[in-house]
Amino acid sequence: MSTPLLSVQGLTITYRRPGLERIVAANDVSFSLERGEVLGLVGESGCGKSTLARAVCGLERSESGQILFNGNQVKPLKNRRRPPHLMGIQMVFQNPYASLNPRRTVASQIEDGIRASPKAERWSVTELLEEVELERSAATRFPHEFSGGQRQRIAIARAIAAGPDLLIGDEPIASLDASLQSKIALLMRKLAFESDAALLFISHDLAVVRVVADQAAVMQRGRIVERGPVAEIWEHPQDPYTQRLLSAIPVVDGLGRLPG
């Protein structure tokens, strides 16, 4: 068997806050992700989705378990600097300002991504702007000159520029107008495919995940309670928690999808 792109085994992460109870944000989490796969990670706010995403990027210290990316162990980063073997993981956050520097032009930030790419074939800034449907003139402008949806497109372009093997979106559409959400989500899916990368798409919006992902993992209080093909889970959820989550989505067209 070949090595999975990402393998998370028995990962447990706890937070201790003075005077408060210990929080187990990830509780013995195991899953793997293959190249080209689109995995939707769903679950209510506070269930541990972001903790898991940060851990995969080397931004969390685990209590036990391990994370392997391309067979290399992911360890907590020292001063947030990533070793070369982890440059293949790129993250897009809910707030695009978390990925973008407000004081630098769009072009210079996308160029950072291009320089970081380990791939032989590199994008140009113009090509990437075209891919994310922004005008060429966007290159010389600054993040604050764009709308939320446009900023998220810039953050996606920057992540794709770096030639990722794994693209992670941590609620990348949560701050956008409903009319833009599916569009941006599908753009991430398309670009991940074109880059031959896996996509880990985190969202509490089950309707969007249904459309974007092929596989889904459902998380509840730090545990993955169900994992499988999206179509199967949405039609025949096995876990009571998944059943509750799904029954809470307004069913509009039979797929639990909202119009628009």
Q: Which residues bind Mg ion (CB under 5 A)?
A: 49-50
48 binds, among Mg ion, ligand ADP, none (CB under 5 to 8 A by kind): ligand ADP
Q: Which residue has the tokens 């541990």?
A: 48
Q: Can you tell me the distance from the alpha carbon of 221 to that of 25, in angstroms, rounded to the nearest whole number?
A: 7
Q: Of ligand ADP, Mg ion, none, which one does residue 47 interact with (CB within 5 to 8 Å by kind)?
A: ligand ADP
Distances (CA, A) of 184 to 20, 22, 31: 38, 36, 26
Query: In the window 19-38, what residues touch ligand ADP (CB under 6 A)?
Result: 23, 25
CB of 11 to ligand ADP, least distance (A): 12
78 binds ligand ADP (CB under 6 A): no
Binding partner of 15, given Mg ion, ligand ADP, none, CB within 5-8 angstroms per partner class: ligand ADP
Q: CB 244 → ligand ADP: shortest distance, Å?
A: 16
> What is the DSSP secondary-structure string of 175-239?
TS-HHHHHHHHHHHHHHHHHTT-EEEEE-S-HHHHHHH-SEEEEEETTEEEEEEEHHHHHHS--S
How far is CA 258 from its chain centroid? Answer: 22
**Is there binding between residue 80 and ligand ADP (CB under 6 A)?**
no
**47 contributes a contact to ligand ADP by CB under 6 A:** yes
Residues that bind ligand ADP (CB under 6 A): 15, 17, 23, 25, 43, 45-51
